[in-house]
Each structure stands twice: as C-alpha cells, then as structure tokens.
C-alpha cells in the first residue's frame, strides 16, 4: 500500500510499504477513505524527531470502510463505515470506565511513563503505524471505531476522530459559567472548532490568532476576534473587552510552537542537529520559551477562572508562574482528548443542518501522493491552509 512516512525533520514521503494484517483477535483492518492532517503532526514534523524512526507512518484522523476483523471483533463487519478515534483504548479498564480513554490502562506506554497509545505518534505513544495511508490496522477494534451511516460525505464524520472531541473536551474543561466569556487562543482546526462549539453552547467567545485567513474564517461564524499582531498587551486587550476582569475561561489551542517565542526556534533547530539521545533531553527540558500562549492565558484569565489546555506541550522543566497561578486561584485542566467519551454528545450535531459547519470545514482536500507538499503549506500557513484531508 501507499503511506506517508517520516524520514527526518521536515522530510515526509509517500512510500510503498507492506499491507497491514490482523495480528490480534481484537484487530480490524480499515480501508481509509479520508485522513486528516493535524497540528499535532506538525510537532512530529518539526521537533519530535528523536522519538520517531525513519519509515514510521504518520496520521491519526481516519474515516474508512472495514475490510477485515479479528475473531473477537463482533461489533463490526466488513463493509461498515467507521471513524477511528486517535487514541487506542480498550473500553473495559478502570480508566476507560471512568471516561479517561486517553489514559487506557490496557494500551498505556508504561516504559515511557505515558498514557494510551495513539496512531502515528512516536515511540512515546506505542509507535503504532498511522492513518495517512491506504490501509490501517486498528487495535482494540471491539471498542474504538465509531460506526457512522452511509450517505453524507466523509467530511461530516471524519472530525469525530480528533478535532470534534478535542475541541469539545477543551470547552467542557473550560467550565464557562452561564453568561460567561471564553477566550480561545489559536485558531487552527482545534481552536476554530472550539470557538464554534462554545458559541453553539451559548458562551461569548473571543478568538485570538495572528494569521489573517484564520481570523477571518472564525469571524465569518459571527465570533469576535482579536489579531495578536495588532495589540501590544493581549492581557490588557482582553481585560478591556471583559469589564476589566478578564474572561472567566481561556482555552489554549496553540501548544508548544507558539509565536512570540524567539528562543524556541533555536531550541527546535538544536534538537535537529544533536545526536538523538541529547536532543531528546533538550526536547524535554528546553520548553521554557514555548510557553507564550500559556503565559498569555495565565495573565488574562479572570481571578478564580479556568484555563483549559488542549495544545500539546512537551517540556518537563518549563518554569511556570506558580505565584500568579496560585494567587489568582486558577483552575488548570488539560490532556489528550478522551475521544469516545464525547461521541454521543457530538453525533446529534452532525446532521444536514450542520450547526458546527463540518461539511465546509476542510480548506484543502488532496490526494495522499501530494501529502508532503501539504505538510509544508500547513506548517507555513500558506495558501489559506487550515484543515487538510488526504484522500488515499
């Protein structure tokens, strides 16, 4: 089959690799019909090289058709249309029962001290071959895949794999009070969708980014926006918009590659030049200057408010302004999305009325063969690229 494989920093290629096969009775094989490109893939593309091997297949946002199932997968049959959640979870351990599927104890990566395995997401998360490919082996298929109806286009359901539950969880964890305001930092696919969901649920929403097309796209949904590049003190700007107190809730949908972090670029580049062991260490400790968005969130959030982090952070030694967090009595919630937990609440919104605008959410739909160029354009935010779907 053809699959998008990692070959080094900013070097991904479409290779011919062996077809996956059923290896465990709980596996399924899915023929991918659409597969998303995610901001999380950009972390792999740029800074996570020490945790990847050449040839690792990337991608974790697939929809497709079941081709084959293992003997213990009785809920699916060949021909079923399914979306596959980005985290791999068993559905019957203590964590899964508690709705913490991203911490699944069956697929946890204990040797690295990490949570549930993820598709296409480094040795830290199980080194499971990813979904930007023609075929995908799905472990724990008795639980993970979400059956969706035939008829509507892939766009209607594909975001159940990541964007929708991640944005839903971000809003849920933000605990926006009735009549309250949530500021969403970062208007990539995750932040954009978090704005739509928060608005749909009745909050006042203020979106912040510095890419004109992304701001315009969110403004077109009737959402207030602030252009980061046009303000000198973001915290002051937000306080001005909220009675001087700041928003009750802030969602950080930026993560560790925030702009406004000049040193981060250097650290990123250093990780690329050092031998793997050393650069893995640097990657874990040099997060210091990647905290621009989180620091903005801490500054602007109202006293007693909540910060919901959905952007991925990688540092282990990032100094946080603990004094400010403590003094302002801030609640911090974060983590990988527990995809399965939110599906039943989201599915009723994926109708012909399309209240969240999923049918037109993708800005680019490209053949898998053109994926390497699309990675570059998405990273550089060229050509209005916000959400890319690959058609294998």
- Which positions lie near ligand NAD, rule CB under 6 A? 38-40, 42-43, 162, 166, 185-191, 208-211, 214, 228, 253-255, 258-260, 292-293, 310-312, 336-337
Question: Which H/E stretch holds residue 209?
Answer: strand 204-209
Smallest gap from residue 22 Cβ to ligand NAD (A): 28
Smallest gap from residue 376 Cβ to Zn ion (A): 18
Smallest gap from residue 243 Cβ to Zn ion (A): 36
User: How crowded is residue 210: how many other Cβ atoms within 10 Å of its Cβ?
Assistant: 17
Q: Which of 103/166 has CB closer to ligand NAD?
A: 166
Smallest gap from residue 29 Cβ to ligand NAD (A): 25
The binder of 255, among Zn ion, ligand NAD, none, by C-beta within 5 to 8 A per type, is ligand NAD
Q: Is the dihedral of CA 238, 239, 240, 242 positive or negative?
A: positive
Smallest gap from residue 392 Cβ to ligand NAD (A): 20
The binder of 104, among Zn ion, ligand NAD, none, by C-beta within 5 to 8 A per type, is Zn ion
Q: How far is CA 285 from CA 2, 127, 257, 272, 317, in A?
A: 36, 22, 15, 15, 5
Q: Which of 12/226 has CB closer to Zn ion?
A: 12
Q: Which of 12/301 has CB closer to Zn ion?
A: 12
Beta carbons of 310 and 184 less than 8 angstroms apart? no
Q: Which of 20/207 has CB closer to ligand NAD?
A: 207
Beta carbons of 385 and 211 less than 8 angstroms apart? no
The binder of 294, among ligand NAD, Zn ion, none, by C-beta within 5 to 8 A per type, is none
The binder of 158, among Zn ion, ligand NAD, none, by C-beta within 5 to 8 A per type, is none
Cβ-proximal residues to 211 (8 Å cutoff; 6+ apart), any chain: 187, 381
Strand partners, 2: 16
* The residue to which tokens 């928003």 are assigned: 247
The binder of 26, among Zn ion, ligand NAD, none, by C-beta within 5 to 8 A per type, is none
Alpha helices in 114-243 (DSSP H): 154-158, 163-174, 189-200, 212-219, 234-241
Q: Which two tokens stand for residue 34?
A: 């659409």
Q: Which two tokens stand for residue 275?
A: 């031998």
Q: Which of 135/378 has CB closer to ligand NAD?
A: 378
Smallest gap from residue 323 Cβ to Zn ion (A): 34
Determine the Cα–Cα distance for residues 100 and 93; give it in Å rounded to an integer: 10
Smallest gap from residue 87 Cβ to ligand NAD (A): 8
Smallest gap from residue 215 Cβ to Zn ion (A): 22
Q: Which of 142/341 has CB closer to ligand NAD?
A: 341
Smallest gap from residue 322 Cβ to Zn ion (A): 30
Determine the Cα–Cα distance for residues 294 and 387; give it in Å rounded to an integer: 23
Burial code (b: 16+ CB inside 10 Å, e: under 16) for 177-188 equals eeebbbbbbbbb
Determine the Cα–Cα distance for residues 178 and 338; give it in Å rounded to an integer: 24
- Residue among 121, 237, 260 at smallest CA distance from 186: 260
The binder of 338, among Zn ion, ligand NAD, none, by C-beta within 5 to 8 A per type, is none
The binder of 59, among ligand NAD, Zn ion, none, by C-beta within 5 to 8 A per type, is none
Q: Which of 162/289 has CB closer to ligand NAD?
A: 162
The binder of 39, among Zn ion, ligand NAD, none, by C-beta within 5 to 8 A per type, is ligand NAD
> Which residues contact Zn ion by CB under 5 A?
38, 40, 89-90, 93, 96, 104, 106, 162
The binder of 292, among Zn ion, ligand NAD, none, by C-beta within 5 to 8 A per type, is ligand NAD
Q: Which of 38/388 has CB closer to Zn ion?
A: 38
Q: Which of 30/253 has CB closer to ligand NAD?
A: 253
Smallest gap from residue 309 Cβ to ligand NAD (A): 8
State residue 181 phi and psi, 5-degree precision. Answer: -115, 140
Q: Which of 143/286 has CB closer to Zn ion?
A: 143
Q: In a 10 Å sphere around its CB, with 0-12 CB exposed, 13-18 middle and 19+ buried, how is residue 20 labelled? A: buried
Burial code (b: 16+ CB inside 10 Å, e: under 16) for 318-329 equals beeeeeeeeebe
State residue 179 phi and psi, 5-degree precision. Answer: 75, 5
């Amino acid at each position: 089959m053809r699959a998008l494989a990692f070959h080094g920093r900013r070097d991904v290629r479409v290779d011919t690799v062996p077809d996956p096969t059923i290896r465990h009775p709980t596996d399924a094989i899915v023929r991918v019909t659409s597969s998303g490109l995610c901001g999380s893939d950009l972390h792999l593309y740029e800074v996570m090289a020490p945790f990847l091997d050449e040839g690792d297949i990337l991608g974790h946002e697939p929809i497709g058709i079941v081709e084959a199932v293992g003997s213990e997968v009785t809920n699916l049959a060949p021909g079923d249309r399914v979306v596959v959640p980005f985290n791999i979870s068993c559905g019957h351990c203590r964590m899964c029962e508690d709705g913490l599927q991203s911490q699944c104890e069956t697929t946890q990566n204990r040797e690295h001290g990490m949570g549930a395995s993820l598709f296409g997401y480094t040795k830290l998360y199980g080194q499971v071959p990813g979904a930007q490919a023609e075929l995908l082996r799905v472990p724990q298929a008795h639980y993970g895949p979400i059956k969706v109806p035939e008829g509507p286009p892939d766009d209607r359901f594909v975001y159940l794999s990541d964007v929708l539950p991640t944005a839903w969880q971000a809003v849920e964890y933000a605990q926006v009070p009735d009549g309250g305001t949530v500021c969403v930092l970062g208007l990539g696919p995750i932040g954009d969708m978090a704005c739509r969901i928060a608005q749909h649920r009745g909050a006042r929403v203020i979106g912040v980014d510095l890419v004109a097309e992304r701001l315009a796209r969110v403004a077109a949904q009737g959402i207030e926006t602030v252009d980061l590049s046009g303000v000198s003190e973001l915290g002051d700007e937000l306080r001005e918009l909220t009675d001087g107190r700041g928003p009750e809730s802030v969602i950080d949908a930026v993560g560790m590659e925030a702009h406004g972090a000049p040193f981060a670029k250097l650290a990123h580049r250093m990780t690329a030049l050092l031998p793997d062991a050393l650069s893995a260490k640097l990657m874990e400790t040099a997060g210091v200057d990647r905290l621009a968005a989180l620091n903005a969130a801490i500054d602007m959030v109202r006293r007693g408010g909540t910060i919901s982090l959905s952007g991925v952070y990688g540092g282990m030694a990032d100094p946080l302004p603990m004094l400010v967090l403590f003094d302002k009595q801030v609640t911090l919630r974060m983590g990988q999305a527990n995809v399965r937990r939110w599906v039943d609440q989201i599915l009723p919104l994926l109708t012909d009325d399309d209240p969240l605008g999923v049918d037109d959410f993708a800005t680019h739909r490209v053949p898998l063969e053109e994926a390497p160029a699309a990675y570059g354009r998405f990273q550089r935010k060229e050509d209005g690229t916000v959400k890319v779907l690959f058609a294998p």
